[in-house]
Amino acid sequence: LQIKQIHTLKNILGLDDDLYREMLASFGVYTSKKLTETEANILIEILQNKKKKYLVLSHFFKNLGLIDMTKFC
């Protein structure tokens, strides 16, 4: 369940593979399957926080008609 949630958040945020691998490397692993339960929960929390910020910013800029935030993710 955690791995599926991690990959869902990764896709929602549009993280490229290099950035995603860097995030995993910060936990000393190369695949999400190697994360401990605690590490997976931490990564999920990080990704959820990024998702919240992305949604707030994209809504703000979309309403102003300034830029398309998808170009930044």
In the structure encoding, which two tokens stand for residue 43, read together? 């990564």
Classify the phi-psi angles of 67: left when phi > 0, otherwise alpha if psi is within -120 to 50, otherwise beta. beta
The per-residue pLDDT for 51 is 83
Alpha-carbon span 64 to 58, nearest angstrom: 10
List the chain pLDDT tens, one digit each, 73 residues: 799 999 999 998 888 899 999 999 999 999 999 999 999 999 999 999 988 877 766 766 666 665 554 555 4
The per-residue pLDDT for 31 is 95
The per-residue pLDDT for 13 is 87
In this structure, the number of other CB atoms found within 10 A of the CB of residue 43 comes to 23
The per-residue pLDDT for 73 is 47
